[in-house]
Amino acid sequence: MIDTISHTILYLTAVFRAQETVQDVAVFVRDCLALPLSFTLRDGARTVLGDYTATLASCGLVPTAVLHLAVDGDAAAAILHPHLLAT
């Protein structure tokens, strides 16, 4: 089977404290979006981080973690503010 879906990979980097919440991360991501899109955050195991009140420490996301952003729609490059793409 051939995957015909085109994927664009972009990286946003930020540092959060262990006591900050998933909501804090979601606000950061939302502020980076050029369009008001619905999205989900997933951890490295692709588990959806659905409890936005949970701290990053309680989610096992310390001392470091890579989170994945899932959005529906067009290419990811079109959803980020242009000034973020210029760096």
Q: What is the pLDDT of residues 22-61, one digit of tens each?
A: 999 999 999 988 878 888 899 988 899 999 999 999 999 9
Q: How far apart are CA 62 and CA 55, in angstroms?
A: 10
Instruction: Report residue 2's pLDDT band, with 50, 70 and 90 as the boundaries.
Output: very low
Residue 1 lies in a domain: no
The pTM of the full predicted model, rounded to 2 decimals, is: 0.77
Total number of domains constituting the chain: 1
Residue 35 lies in a domain: yes
Residue 10 lies in a domain: no
Which residues pair with residue 48 across a beta bridge? Answer: 42
Decide: 42 and 48 in contact? Cβ < 8 Å.
yes
Q: Which domain holds residue 77?
A: 22-85
